[in-house]
Amino acid sequence: MLKHTRNSDPELYRMVEGDLNRQIHNIEMIASESTVPLEVLELNGSVFTNKSLEGYPGGRYQAGSEFADQMETLACQRAKELYGAEHVNMQTYSGTTANYSVYASVLDIGDKILAMDLDQGGHLSHGSPANWTSKMYNHVFYGCDKETGEIDYEAMEEIAHREKPKLIICGASSYPRLIDYERIGKIAADVGAYSMCDMAHISGLVAAKVIPSPVPYMDFVSTSTSKTLCSTRGGIVMCKEKYAKMLDRGTFPGAIGSVQLHTMAAKCWSLKYASTPEFREIMVKVVKNAQHLAKAMQARDYTVISGGTDNHLIVVDLRNKGVKGKQMQIALDKAGITVNKQMIPYDPEKPWITSGLRIGTTAITQRGLGEQEIDEIVDIMDAVVKNPEDEANLKECRARSEALIANFPLYPAGAFED
């Protein structure tokens, strides 16, 4: 692995090697993570890195764009076909900058955005006070029903009619249920707002047609490519044809600089892979595993927000167990299970403590884990929750986690031998 770096910078090499070992020996359950195929690693390191280009195929600001033009055109075509989108922009660098592209395309300073609140499951880039967009735009927020844990569409509609936002955003970081895109699209149309779905978390499930797509109902759809799409750390934005020029101008020169051709090539490969039966089979299992995980947790008296899941993640309210999200994130990490603390809707705790955990099944499903292994994971988790400060307990749990995951290689044997 990294045979050149290994010789020229052993200090840095050891860090990469260290993380590879961490990934091999840990059970990865952060809902936004996946393991990229070897082709994605290969293309990320390809010579496209050397090429500096601005603008779009056929209208670049620099020479030497022949092959880059072919690749970007192919990537756009693949995304259009995969998602049934009218127009695609492949240039944005991540899910966050994909959202910034849309803002740069349709909003002026001071415009109003209606989005899901961060503590209800939304994302920082949807207008959290901690994000720069909160200084540029006015935000109003919707959330979830306290009883059901599902989006309160009636309240959203009422806020939309009262506040008359210019943009309504749906899509979330931590929401386990299907979203009624048709209803949100109609609310936006009724109040004269643009509609946008940030499907960062679920774009792999949507590509595989395992859950419904927002594309037919939204003016704009943004996504990150590194979550369930299982690709490089990048972004994609799609829109209706009538907004194509606005989106392309908003993206470049509006929001980004030169094209990252190497990551675009990796995205291009993944868009092809995401249309295969093999990818679909993985995505079907991701959801099945998440639903099994929810049931297994509930069987041990864990409160699963919204009562279950329709996608790749569950959100667990830990309050009846007498532990906090941060405490469990640390203890589970020591026990070889990687998850993240999570605000639950109406969380009484601060964001850096939290009452909950978000747990995802994408990465473990890619490695081949199924329901039987999830039962063992839940058993380990429960042992950690019961005794989170006991180092001997955590060590014993870690041995169980490592023994379990050892049967499921991260990459095929010999993948990094050179």
| Interacting residue with ligand PLP among 44, 91, 125, 340 (CB under 6 A) | 125
In 192-298 the beta strands, taken as DSSP E runs, fall at 194-198, 220-224, 235-239
Residue with Cβ nearer ligand PLP (34 or 365): 34
What is the smallest separation between the CB atom of 103 and ligand PLP, expressed in angstroms? Answer: 13
The verdict on 201 binding ligand PLP (CB under 6 A) reads: yes
> What are the residues facing 142 on neighbouring strands?
116
Residue 72 DSSP code: H
User: CB neighbours (10 Å) of residue 116?
Assistant: 26
Could you tell me which stretch among 169-177, 293-301, 302-310, 394-402 binds ligand PLP (CB under 6 A)?
169-177
Handedness of CA 252, 257, 258, 260 (dihedral sign): negative
CA angle, 170 then 173 then 175, to 5°: 75
As a whole number of angstroms, the distance between CA 88 and CA 227 comes to 19
As a whole number of angstroms, the distance between CA 225 and CA 254 comes to 21
209: left (phi over 0), alpha (psi -120 to 50) or beta: left
Could you tell me which stretch among 64-72, 90-98, 134-142, 162-170 binds ligand PLP (CB under 6 A)?
90-98
The verdict on 198 binding ligand PLP (CB under 6 A) reads: yes
| Interacting residue with ligand PLP among 224, 291, 355, 401 (CB under 6 A) | 224
> What are the residues facing 168 on neighbouring strands?
114, 195
What is the smallest separation between the CB atom of 202 and ligand PLP, expressed in angstroms? Answer: 9
| Interacting residue with ligand PLP among 26, 89, 91, 173 (CB under 6 A) | 173
| Interacting residue with ligand PLP among 65, 94, 309, 366 (CB under 6 A) | 94
The verdict on 32 binding ligand PLP (CB under 6 A) reads: yes
What is the smallest separation between the CB atom of 157 and ligand PLP, expressed in angstroms? Answer: 22
Distances from the Cα of 383 to the Cα of 42, 343, 388, angstroms = 40, 23, 8
Residue 137 DSSP code: S
Residue 144 DSSP code: B
Could you tell me which stretch among 15-23, 91-99, 101-109, 133-141 binds ligand PLP (CB under 6 A)?
91-99
What is the smallest separation between the CB atom of 211 and ligand PLP, expressed in angstroms? Answer: 15
Residue with Cβ nearer ligand PLP (274 or 397): 274
Cβ 264 vs Cβ 90: under 8 Å: yes
The verdict on 119 binding ligand PLP (CB under 6 A) reads: no
| Interacting residue with ligand PLP among 27, 76, 82, 172 (CB under 6 A) | 172
- Contacting residues toward ligand PLP, per CB under 6 A: 32, 94-96, 123, 125, 171-173, 198, 200-201, 224, 226, 233, 235
